[in-house]
Amino acid sequence: MSLFREYFYRKAPDRLVEISERVYAFDCCFSNDVMGDDEYKQYLDGIVAQLHYLYPDTSFKVCNFRAEDQQSQISTLLSQYGTSVMDYPNQHESVPLLPLQVISQFLISSESWLGQQNVLLMHCERGCLPLLDFMLSALLLYYKRYHGDQKTLELAYNQAPKELLYLSSALNPQPSQLRYLGYISTRDLGSDWPPPEAPLVLDCLILRGLPHFEGVKDWRPSLRVLGQDHKAPANRSSILLFSTPKTNTIYQQVLS
């Protein structure tokens, strides 16, 4: 089936979702069904057979989004067909995103790969669907196959049951994802791509809809901000930049 029917009317190979020309996503990523090992192998075997029939002289590459502590089952199964699988971590700074530099490299390498008339396949492990949806949206905006950051992201999110999206995080990742999609959709308006890193100033944080606990006094939320250490730019790991004090204080914190 096709993900965006306004543009694509061709029938995609069985068990694949057509994203764009020669770009497909595995339909198991958008389903609540859980396959056993043998069923999953048969599933992949059937897809590979179809693709080799439809694209006999074409190379295939799979981009797989998974948790860092998981083994990549699809890499093992597809290695027998000589299909390369690129694994990407599911989260960056606890959000279903990738660093902007990695996103840029993914988009540029995908453009080169597809420019050689190859096929790109997108896959995610259980619980990694929000990142897959984001990367599909990023690819479509980068190629200008679709317009509107929020509309493109919502179309991708609507392909799967909502409860499947909640498996990865109880937090809503879309605000952060939309901010990154904005960098991609407006990349032609400036000379810098990806945009350089810049300090972030947190002036005010407004929390709404906080729970009320009967009989509990002096209850207040605790805020922790994680990010990179500006004093050690070569170190890309996160550190604790700020934590709310235990007293009622109005503050302004500058983050680098």
CA atoms within 13 A on the CB side of 212: 3
pTM: 0.79
Q: What is the mean pLDDT of the chain?
A: 82
Give the tens place of pLDDT for each residue, 87-110. 998 887 678 889 888 999 999 999
Number of helical (H) and strand (E) elements in the chain, helices listed first: 7, 9
Q: What is the per-residue pLDDT across 173-204, written as a single tens digit (0 to 9) for each?
A: 899 899 999 989 888 765 577 777 766 677 77
What pLDDT is recorded for position 191?
A: 59
Provide the CATH number for the domain formed by 16-189 in this structure: 3.90.190.10
What CA–CA distances, in Å, run from 122 to 1, 29, 128, 129, 241? 14, 9, 12, 11, 35
Q: Which tokens is 221 given? A: 């939320």
More reliable by pLDDT, 256 or 14: 14
Q: Is the per-residue pLDDT at 41 higher than 90?
A: yes
Q: Which of 131, 123, 223 is nearest to 168 (CA)?
A: 131
More confident residue, 137 or 170: 137
For the chain, domain boundaries: 16-189, 198-256
Q: Which of 28, 29, 63, 124 is catalytic?
A: 124
Annotated catalytic residue 28: no
Distance CA 251, CA 178 (A): 28
Question: pLDDT (tens digit, 9 = 90+) per residue, 200-247?
Answer: 677 777 777 766 666 666 667 777 777 777 777 666 667 788 887 766
